[in-house]
Amino acid sequence: MAPVTFLFVPGDRPGRFGKAVAAGADVVILDLEDAVAPENKDAARNEVAAWLDAGHAAMVRINGPGTPWFAADVAVVTARGVPVMVPKAESPGVLAGFREVVALVETARGVERAGELAAVPSVTRLAFGSVDLAAELGVAPEDPEPFTYARSRLVIASAAAGLAPPVDGVTTDLRDGGRLAADVRYARRMGFGGKLCVHPDQVAAVRAGFEPTEAERAWARRVVTAGASVSTVDGELVDRPVLARARRILGG
């Protein structure tokens, strides 16, 4: 099953690395980009390298192409063969330079090139950077409506390339559990299969939010039990795509 929860931890806070792992996220992302101030970039890279060299597993979000830290970040992750998250992903050529990469799409140009990015052989997943895209578009990041097109582009591009459903962006309000739950429900409805987290307390709620509801499981069991020879279940037409969806819900 594809990972659902992706937890960022600042690369210059090594004391939090173990706590992030203990939070139980499917993927821990050691962040060298947005979570680290410019004057701390080199120190953060050294801390991340030391953590990886100690045998710990993690993904690393490097600084983007065109920044002063990109080359050094690339050297660290490629030497260790770890999965990489590339921010502001726009160039298929850049993504092709890594063995395993999550492309973080967070610019208008990246959204328009989503299909090209998803088709790069080293790309395992697309992720959505709603906060950065909101700044570029001049809209509020907490309002989902301006991002309907962008989210749909990532979902369609992922499906067309045979990738797992994309990973939705962060919920920055750390105090409002209702807001987080609503964001997860919306992302799941749009076709996303996971979410970026910025605090360990978000992990369990995000994982639960992407689980099928009991009502969905019950419906799926009725469909699978009825089998392909039955034309309707609960008054709904059952054909091969419906049966396939039911099996996916049940993990089959």
6-20, 23-37, 210-224, range with the lowest pLDDT: 210-224
- pLDDT band for position 36 (50/70/90)? very high
Average pLDDT value for residue range 100-125: 98
Using CA atoms, how far apart are residues 164 and 194, in angstroms rounded to an integer? 10
- The closest of 202, 196, 194 to 174, measured between CA atoms, is 202
Q: Are 127 and 165 contacting, i.e. CB atoms less than 8 angstroms apart?
A: no
**pLDDT, average across residues 187-202:** 96
Sign of the Cα pseudo-torsion (110, 114, 115, 120, in order): positive
List C-alpha distances in Å: 239 to 55, 217, 248.
48, 18, 14
3-state SS class at 220: helix
The model's confidence at residue 252, banded by pLDDT at 50, 70 and 90, is low
Kindly list the structural domains of the chain, giving each domain's residue range(s) and its CATH number in brackets, ordered by start. Answer: 5-211 (3.20.20.60), 216-249 (no CATH)
The tokens for 39 are 């004057």
